[in-house]
Amino acid sequence: MDMAAPRHIKTTCPYCGVGCGVIAEVSGTGDVSVRGDESHPANFGRLCSKGAALAETIGLDDRLLYPQVNGAHTDWGSALDLVADKFGAAIRDHGPDSVAFYVSGQLLTEDYYVANKLMKGFIGSANIDTNSRLCMASSVAGHRRAFGADTVPGCYEDLEVADLIVLTGSNLAWCHPVLYQRIVAAKEKRPRMKIVLIDPRRTATSDIADLHLAIKPDSDVALFLGLLRYLARSGALKRRYINGHTTGFKEALQSAELLDLYDLVRRTGVAGATLEQFFALFAATEKVVTVYSQGVNQSASGTDKVNAIINCHLATGRIGKPGMGPLSVTGQPNAMGGREVGGMANMLAAHMNIEDAVHRERVQRFWQAPTIAAKPGLKAVDMFRAVADGRIKALWVMATNPVVSMPDAGNVEAAIRNCPFVVVSDVTAATDTARLAHVLLPAAGWGEKSGTVTNTERRISRQRTFLTPPGDARPDWWIISEVASRMGHGAAFTFSEPAEIFAEHAALSAFENDGARDFDIGAHGTIDAAGFEDLEPFQWPRTKQGSSVERMFTDGRFFTPDGKARFVNVQAPALAATEPGFPLTLNTGRVRDHWHTMTRTGKSARLSRHYAEPFVEIHPEDAARHRIGEADLVRVSTGLGAILVRALITPRQQPGSIFVPMHWNDQFASRARVDVLAASVTDPTSGQPALKNVPARIERFVAA
C-alpha cells in the first residue's frame, strides 16, 4: 500500500500571547503531531506543556458540526438567513445600538477585521467588544495615555539582554512559559541578570526571583510612585530625556512626593528595607525591563498601574533601547491582532481613533461604507448590562464563553438567557454560553482555518490549515461575510479567502497615513494568496523599505501631537475598606496546563493530570482558623454567590488572601465557576473588570 509522505505545516500556537511557532506534522494516515518551530523568532523551537499537547486537543469530541436553530440541525442557508433577518429587524425597529457582537482574542485578525467592518461601517454601531477587554484593556489605555497610541515599545530580545527584569503581576512561568524559559536561559548565561518578582503570591515564577515583593493586592500604584520618588531623590533621573522627550513630569513627581516610606510600607505590606533594596537596584541598573500582566491590568486601578510603571521608565529614559522598557504581555494568542483592526468598542481599524472625525471619515471612505459608528460602543461589562436591561435585542458571541469568564457570571448567564436573540459561533456546542444560544454556527478550529495572529512583541505570524474542517464547520470570516451579504452589504464583503482580507487590512493601515499613527503594514496591501501562504513572521510597523521595526521610540519621538511622551499624574488609590463578613481577599488566575474555560485543554488527560479538579489555595493560618484540612471541600463565598472547591493549604498564599483558578466551569465540575463571585467593578479608564482582589470568605463544607 502506498503511504503518502508526512506533511509539515508551519503554524502558530493558539493559546497565549507569546505566539510560539509550531510545526504540525500530518502523517500519511492523517495522524497529527506537533513540535516547536526552530526558525520562529518567538520560541526558537521551544513549546510549553499546552503547546506540546496541541495534537491531543483536536479530536471531534464535543465539536459543533452543523448549524442549529433552537437545538435542531439545519443547513447554512437557513441559519444565516435567520441571523441576518433577526439582526436586521432589531436594527430597523430599535436602531443600530440595539445589536452587539462579543468577540474573542481567539479569532484570527482576518475574522476580527470583518466583524469590526460589519459592525462599525455597515451596521453603524460600535457595539463590538472582546474578551480581550478582560485581559489587556488597561495596558491599551495606559499606552494611549503615555505614548499617544497603543504601542508595545520593546521586544522579546530585550528580556535576554536586560540586567534587571521586574516581573509585576505576572506568573510568567505558568502563563507565558516560553518567555519564562527564555529568561531562565538568559540568566544562566549572564548570572549578573537580576529578577525582581512583585506579586502577592509566591508562584512558580518565584524560583528565578532574586527578590520577591509580596505586596498587598492593588498596591502597585503606590509602589511605583515610591520608586519614582526614590529615583528623583537618588539622582537617577535622566533630566535631559525628561526635558526633551516628555511632558508632565513635575506634576507626576509631586504626587509621588506625597508618599513617604512609612506610607509605602503601610500600603504595600512590604518591609521598608526590602522596598529600598528594590528601588536601589532599579535606580542603579540601566538595562531594566518591567514585564506586567493580569495582576496589573485586572484591577479597578489597572490603567493607573500601567502608567505608574511607564512613568518610571520615562523618568530614566529607559525605553526604546535594547534591554530597556515596559513590556505588557498579552494573555491571548491574538489580543494584539484584535487591537490592530479595531476590534474593541472604543477603537477604529488600523489604530485610528473613533473619537476623531478625520479618522472616522477616512475609514468610512476606504470601506465605501454607508455609515460609520460616531461614538464608542459598549465595553464588555456594559454590553452585558445592556443585554440584562433589554437594550440589546440581538447578541452574537464569537469564540468565547462569557457565562464562565465574565465577572458577575451568574447575572451574565441570566442576561443571555433572557436576550431575545442569541447567536453563538464556536467550535463546540458544549460551553455554558453555547447552551443558551438560539442559533449555533459551527466554526472551523485551529488547524482548520487560515489567517494571522499578532503576539505580545507586535509580531504577525500565520496560522495555517492542515486539517479539513469537520461536518459543515466554516471559518469565522466566511460566516460573518455571509451574514453581511444577507443584510444587504454583499459588495463590501466579497472575500473569498483570508489573503484578500489581510491585503485590505494592510492597505487600510497605509491609507492616507499621516505619520501620526503607529500601525503600518501597508507593504502587504497587494499581497496575493501565494504571498500570504509564504508570509514569514514579522513585526509591525513595517518601513517603506519593507523592514520590520523591532523597538519603538528609538528616536525619542512618540505618537502624541507634539511627539513627546506623557507622564500621567497617577494617585495611589484609597485603601480599600474590608467588607463586613468577607475578611479575605480572593485572587484569580491560571494554572500551568489549562487554558481559559478548558474547552480544548480539558480534552487532554495529560494536561488534566497537573491539577485534576478546582481548588482554593489557603494559607495554613487561615486554614487552621476555619478548621479546614487538606483536600476538604470548601465553600468560597462573596456577596454574589458561592462555589465549592478543594482546599490546598500552602504558605504560597499570604495570610488573609486566597487563590482560585479561573478555568473550571459547569462542564467539568459543578459549582466551580469562580467568576460568579467577582462583582463587575471596572477600571474607569479602560473598562477592564477587576477580577482580582475580591472580598470573600471561606468555610469547610459539610454535606447536609
Burial of 682 (0-12, 13-18, 19+ CB in 10 A): buried
Q: Which is nearer to ligand SF4, 50 or 524 (CB)?
A: 50
Q: Work out how close the CB of 186 gets to ligand SF4 at its nearest, in angstroms, rounded to a whole number.
A: 16
Alpha-carbon span 672 to 661, nearest angstrom: 10
Tell me the closest approach of the beta carbon of residue 8 to ligand SF4, in angstroms: 17
Stretch that binds ligand SF4, among 11-19, 292-300, 339-347, 509-517 (CB under 6 A): 11-19
What gap in Å lies between CA 704 and CA 701, rounded to an integer?
Answer: 9
**CA-to-CA separations, 676 to 100, 132, 536, 664, in angstroms, rounded:** 22, 19, 42, 12
Q: Rounded to the nearest whole angstrom, what is the least distance from the CB of residue 333 to ligand SF4 in the complex?
A: 7
The minimum distance between CB 213 and ligand SF4, in angstroms, equals: 25
DSSP letters spanning 350-391: GG--TT-HHHHHHHHHHHT-S----S----HHHHHHHHHTT-
Give 43 or 303: the residue with its C-beta nearer to ligand SF4: 43
Q: Taking CB under 6 A as the rule, does residue 678 contact ligand SF4?
A: no
598 binds ligand SF4 (CB under 6 A): no
Residue number with CB closer to ligand SF4 (173 or 483): 173
Candidates 13, 222, 225, 398: give the one binding ligand SF4 (CB under 6 A).
13
Is 45 in contact with 482 (CB distance < 8 Å)? no
Least separation in angstroms between residue 444's CB and ligand SF4 is 19
Does 155 participate in binding ligand SF4 (rule CB under 6 A)?
Answer: no
By rule CB under 6 A, what count of residues binds ligand SF4? Answer: 14
Q: Does 15 bind ligand SF4 (CB under 6 A)?
A: yes
188 by Cβ neighbours in 10 Å (0-12 / 13-18 / 19+) ranks as exposed
* Lookup: cell for 425: 459561533
Position 16 contacts ligand SF4 (CB under 6 A): yes
Residues 48-67 touching ligand SF4, rule: CB under 6 A, are 48, 50-51
Shortest approach of ligand SF4 to residue 106 CB, angstroms?
12
Cis upstream peptide for 583 (omega within 30°) = no
Q: Which three cell numbers stand for residue 251?
A: 506634576
- Minimal distance in Å, beta carbon 46 to ligand SF4? 7
Give the largest Cα separation in the chain, rounded. 79
Specify which residues 635 forms β-bridges with: 644, 699
Residue 675 C-beta: closest distance to ligand SF4, Å: 21
| Site stretch for ligand SF4 (CB under 6 A), options 67-75, 149-157, 170-178, 310-318 | 170-178
Q: Which residue is nearest to ligand SF4, using beta carbons?
A: 51
Q: Segment contacting ligand SF4 (CB under 6 A): 158-166, 175-183, 294-302, 516-524?
A: 175-183
Minimum CB distance to ligand SF4, residue 10 (Å): 14
In terms of Cα–Cα distance, which of 41, 45, 6, 5 is closest to 22? Answer: 45
Is residue 178 part of the contact set for ligand SF4 (CB under 6 A)? Answer: yes
Question: Binding residue for ligand SF4 (CB under 6 A) from 18, 319, 372, 473?
Answer: 18
| Cβ at position 297, least distance to ligand SF4 in Å | 17
C-alpha to C-alpha distances, 131 to 13, 15, 195, 408, 438, nearest whole angstrom: 18, 14, 31, 14, 21
Q: State the DSSP code for 232.
A: H
All three cell numbers of 371, joined, read: 455609515
Compare residues 52 and 584 and give the one whose CB is closer to ligand SF4. Answer: 52
Rounded to an integer, what distance in angstroms lies between the CA atom of residue 287 and that of residue 49?
31
For the CB of residue 93, give the shortest distance to ligand SF4 in the complex, in Å: 44
- Beta strand spans in 238-279 (E): 246-247
β-strands 194-198, 459-463 pairing: unpaired
Pick the closer one to ligand SF4 by CB: 564 or 596.
Answer: 596
Choose one: 171-179, 420-428, 569-577, 691-699; the region binding ligand SF4 (CB under 6 A): 171-179
Which grid coordinates belong to 479? 460566516
Q: Hey, which residues between 29 and 48 contact ligand SF4 (CB under 6 A)?
A: 43, 47-48
The binder of ligand SF4 chosen from 121, 142, 169, 177 (CB under 6 A): 177
Q: Estimate the share of the chain in helix, then strand, then coil, as percent rounded to the nearest 5.
A: 35, 20, 45
Only one of the segments 137-145, 160-168, 173-181, 506-514 lies at the binding site for ligand SF4 (rule: CB under 6 A); that segment is: 173-181
Question: Which residues have a Cβ under 8 Å from the Cβ of 636 and sit 6 or more positions away?
Answer: 586, 616, 642, 643, 644, 645, 658, 660, 674, 677, 696, 697, 698
Tell me which of 20, 373, 480, 616 binds ligand SF4, using CB under 6 A.
20
Considering the complex, state which of residue 159 and residue 484 has its C-beta at the smaller distance from ligand SF4.
159
Query: Under the criterion CB under 6 A, does residue 19 sit at the interface with ligand SF4?
Result: yes
What does the alpha-carbon distance between residue 509 and residue 366 come to, in Å, rounded to a whole number?
10
Q: Are strands 288-292 and 325-328 parallel, antiparallel or unpaired?
A: parallel
Determine if 415 is a binding residue for ligand SF4 (CB under 6 A): no
Task: Give me the residues that bind ligand SF4 (CB under 6 A), please.
Answer: 13, 15-16, 18-20, 43, 47-48, 50-51, 176-178
